[in-house]
């Protein structure tokens, strides 16, 4: 077999493989997008727990909560920090319109398993300590107990809870500063 025939066969094989990969991508794209949307919806619903809110997207990483009567009740928004022990920690925070936290859940994190991953609800109930809190606690309370605040830290892992407490506090401050703008944006979505 001469070299031209080998190159032609390899080219044909590569073209067929490329077509198969492209066809698979086209056939599965819709299912992948649907699965991502369903996962995101479950993750957002987990932030507010069993409470009955309708969740509507307002903007990237900003969702409006409406009660059963269809009235605005609060927002779910993302908060993140790069101050975790292993860097980035992403969180969802749900707050009612008075600024009281309805729930906080981890969106993504890379903390050390068995130590810093205690911020995950399926590992520890620690994240539930934010429920019902607000900026009314005062700035000094928004620290871990080791730093004179109200929030527990983990034995052997203070950096992670310290970063999460600071991120949630800063997220609530951002919520209070932008709540009016967010309501205006949300009214356009209703």
Domain around 161: 54-189
- Going by pLDDT thresholds of 50, 70 and 90, the confidence category of residue 63 is very high
The number of beta carbons lying within 10 Å of the beta carbon of residue 187 is 11
For residue 69, the SS3 value is: coil
Does residue 93 surpass a pLDDT of 90? yes
What pLDDT band is residue 75 in, cutting at 50, 70 and 90?
A: very high
- Distance CA(101)–CA(18), nearest Å, equals 50
Domain count, the chain: 1
First to last CA, the chain: 69
Please check whether residue 10 lies inside any domain of the structure: no
Do strands 101-109 and 72-84 pair parallel, antiparallel, or not at all (unpaired)? unpaired
pLDDT of 189 reads 63
91 domain-assigned? yes
Q: Which has the higher per-residue pLDDT, 114 or 118?
A: 118
pLDDT digits over 167-182, tens only? 999 999 999 999 999 9
pTM of the model: 0.78
Confirm whether 123 is domain-assigned: yes
Let me know if residue 35 belongs to a domain: no
166 pLDDT tier (thresholds 50, 70, 90): very high
Note whether residue 92 is domain-resident.
yes
Nearest to 65 by CA among 96, 23, 99: 96
Residue at 131 is within a domain: yes
Residue 190 is predicted with a pLDDT of 61
In a domain, 112, yes or no: yes
Q: Is the pLDDT assigned to residue 116 strictly greater than 70? A: no
Residue 8 lies in a domain: no
* pLDDT tens digits along 6-59: 888 888 888 888 888 888 888 877 888 777 777 777 778 888 876 788 888 898
């Amino acid at each position: 077999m001469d070299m031209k025939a080998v190159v032609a066969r390899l080219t044909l094989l590569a073209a067929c493989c490329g077509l198969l990969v492209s066809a698979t991508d086209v056939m599965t794209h819709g299912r992948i997008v649907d699965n991502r949307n369903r996962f995101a919806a479950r993750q957002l619903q987990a932030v507010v727990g069993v409470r009955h809110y309708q969740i509507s997207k307002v903007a990237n990483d900003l969702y409006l909560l409406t009660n059963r009567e269809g009235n605005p009740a609060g927002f779910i928004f993302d908060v993140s920090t790069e101050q975790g022990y292993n860097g980035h920690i992403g969180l969802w925070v749900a707050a009612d319109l008075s600024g009281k936290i309805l729930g906080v859940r981890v969106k993504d994190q890379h903390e050390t398993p068995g130590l810093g991953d205690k911020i995950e609800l399926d590992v520890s109930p620690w994240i539930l300590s934010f429920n019902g809190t607000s900026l009314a606690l005062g700035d000094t309370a928004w620290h871990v107990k080791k730093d004179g605040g109200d929030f527990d830290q983990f034995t052997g892992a203070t950096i992670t809870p310290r970063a999460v407490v600071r991120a949630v506090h800063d997220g609530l401050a951002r919520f209070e500063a932008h709540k009016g703008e967010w309501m205006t944006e949300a009214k356009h979505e209703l």
